[in-house]
Amino acid sequence: MTDSLDPARRIVYTGAAGGVGTMTRPLLAKLYPGLVLSDRVQPANLLPSEKFVAADLTKPDEVAALVKGAHSVIHLGGHSVEGTWDQILNANIIGCYNLFEAARVAGVKRVIFASSNHAIGFYPRRKKIGTDVTVRPDSRYGVSKAFGEALGALYSDKHGIGVTCLRIGNVGPSPLDVRRLSIWISPEDLVQLFQIGLEHPDIRFEIFYGASDNEASWWDNSRAHRLGYRPTGKAEEFRAQAEAEQKKLPPDPVGDLFQGGTFASAEFTNDVKRAGP
Ligand code: 15L
């Protein structure tokens, strides 16, 4: 395990006050006791043992101060759903650039970038895809995640930072509906992927799917498995519950065709036969 109490191995966690940050913080704290949490505002339930540094990702000087002296960054910060162009531009495009650039200047060795399934959300559900497919974003948000992956590749190839992009499905204690039976990931499995990104000696530039061991998966995650990923979450165990929840949702004939669901159908003006690969 990385000795995260050693200041030279300091790990910074952006977006720590958000939903995924809140679910994974306690698990990460056990593995990496010196973890530095960051967000724009301090989480209400911060423990006395937890370190917190406030930073606004759109402010390069604040991001530079945050990552100074860090060994690794887990970057979850930014806007986590579809938003206006202004919101996405600031939080996810400019914010992500500021993060990678500050990491380069500070000599950070590894970055884990929280990408999303929405970078490939226009792939049809009937198609199983690997991590090597062309991106097909389903939203401005998805475009920003594809941008973050491209930025990660640039900083890996040009500056030698070990970058792991996680195309996260949906994180939670259980899958919320039928779509999430294919893309769900437990907080424990996500932390396992963080750990591979932080510690595996072969990491240069990687894209993994952030998904548990889901029978209905649309994704080939064999590269993550080759690097030691052994997910324990199984969406199928929650099928009855997810199907019952699905019945409460309005019909979505467009979203139901594509992996991104409602992100794909929102603002959709095309003919479905002409959408996706
Ligand atoms: C995401 O990328 C979002 O951050 C999350 O809020 C969910 O909407 C998830 O995708 C999903 O596709 O279910």
Q: Could you identify the atom of ligand 1 that is nearest to the CA of residue 179? A: 13
Instruction: Give the mean model confidence (pLDDT) for residues 233-248.
Output: 98
Pocket test for ligand 1, best of 82, 116, 167 (most atoms within 8 A of CB): 116
Q: Write the DSSP symbol of residue 82.
A: -
Tens of pLDDT, residues 31-87: 999 999 999 999 988 988 899 999 999 999 999 999 999 999 999 999 999 999 999
pLDDT at 3 over 90: no
Summary mean pLDDT of the chain: 96
Residue 128, CA distances (Å) to 16, 66, 125, 178 in order: 32, 39, 8, 17
Q: How far does the centroid of ligand 1 lie from the alpha carbon of residue 169, in Å?
A: 6
CB-based pocket (< 6 A), ligand 1: 80-81, 116-118, 170
Whether residue 5 is predicted with pLDDT greater than 80 in this model: the reply is no
Q: What is the distance between the alpha carbons of residues 2 and 180, in angstroms, rounded to a whole number?
A: 32
Classified as helix, coil or strand, 160 is coil
Q: Is 37 helix (H, G, I), strand (E, B) or coil?
A: strand
Give the active site residues. Answer: 141
Residues facing residue 168 across a β-bridge: 116, 210
Measured in angstroms, how far is the CA atom of residue 6 from the centroid of ligand 1? 34
The ranges assigned to domains in the chain are 11-274
Atom of ligand 1 nearest to the CA of 176: 13
| pLDDT one-digit tens code per residue, 123-178 | 999 989 999 999 999 999 999 999 999 999 999 999 999 999 999 999 999 999 99
Integer angstrom CA distances of residue 227 from 1, 3, 203, 207: 15, 21, 9, 12
pLDDT digits (tens, 9 = 90+) for 179-212: 999 999 999 999 999 999 999 999 999 999 999 9
Q: Which class does domain 11-274 fall in?
A: alpha beta
State in Å: Cα 262 to ligand 1 middle.
Answer: 10
Nearest CA to 123 among 139, 140, 136?
136
Kindly report the pTM of this predicted structure: 0.97
- Which residues are CB-neighbours of 250 under 8 A, at least 6 positions away? none
